[in-house]
Amino acid sequence: MKDFFRRLKYYGLGFGIGLIMVMALFDNKGCSWFPSNRVKDNLFSRMIVANASSFDEIKEQGFTQAGFLKTVQAGTVDFGKSKKQGLDKVYRIDYETPKGKKVHCFMTMGDESFMTEIIFSNKKATQIAPTNSDAELPGKILFFPKNEFLFYMDSSSVLTEKMKSLGIKNDKELNRLIRKNGLFDFSRSYLLQHPKPVHCLQFNVSQTSKETIFVKCIWYKDKIKVYDLSTHTLDF
């Protein structure tokens, strides 16, 4: 019996050392069973957006767009300073700038929302609204989930015909145009609406086009369903 307990002690010691080594080596490197990585995997399964002032802050910190996303994805989730309860969560991500300065940003995670917003603020997460929908300028889309047919048009024949009349042949072309020059329209979105928040994106069919196309969408079964389409024509 004494030998059994001695072997059990050595086994427990070895298991504990191994567990510590695994956590040190693989945290933030794809082990999705760590709480921090589960949150970041969830955030990066959504479209990531920054309003004009937040995008300026990213550049002022010395990041390229790709560099910022990579750094945030490798950053640390501060659960103690995050809003983890309720339908509309806000997570604080701690990271370092290219110059080694320790900073943080907040990332929103609204229930049934396919958009997470980057917010820079000194407020507590509980004081941050999960949307900057009052922003006058459209937001820049920093990241799209890897799904070629992420957006799809409602089966309504009226919408389908209107899409074709605007020079958009099919859902594949719709996805290409949104990924190429799409912006997030805060003023036309209703991100606090439940059970399904309304998201609005805008884009132009071409660089020379004076007609801006607005699509209203909801998140449905891991894809984004476009249920309304409207246009606005510039008069200059």
**Residues paired with residue 184 on neighbouring β-strands, in sequence order:** 139, 201
* Domain 144-233, second-level architecture: 2-Layer Sandwich (3.30)
Q: Are strands 47-50 and 139-143 parallel, antiparallel or unpaired?
A: antiparallel
Indicate the CATH number of 35-139 among 3.40.50, 3.30.2310, 3.30.420, 3.90.550.
Answer: 3.30.2310
Predicted confidence band at 114 (pLDDT cuts at 50, 70, 90)? very high
pLDDT for the residue 32: 58
Q: How far is the C-alpha of 105 from the C-alpha of 118, rounded, in Å?
A: 7
Single pTM value for the model:
0.83
Domain regions of the chain by residue span: 35-139, 144-233
pLDDT digits (tens, 9 = 90+) for 159-210: 888 888 888 889 999 999 999 999 999 999 998 888 899 999 999 988 777 7
- C-alpha atoms less than 13 angstroms from C-alpha of 38 in its C-beta half-sphere: 4
Q: How far is the C-alpha of 197 from the C-alpha of 112, rounded, in Å?
A: 7
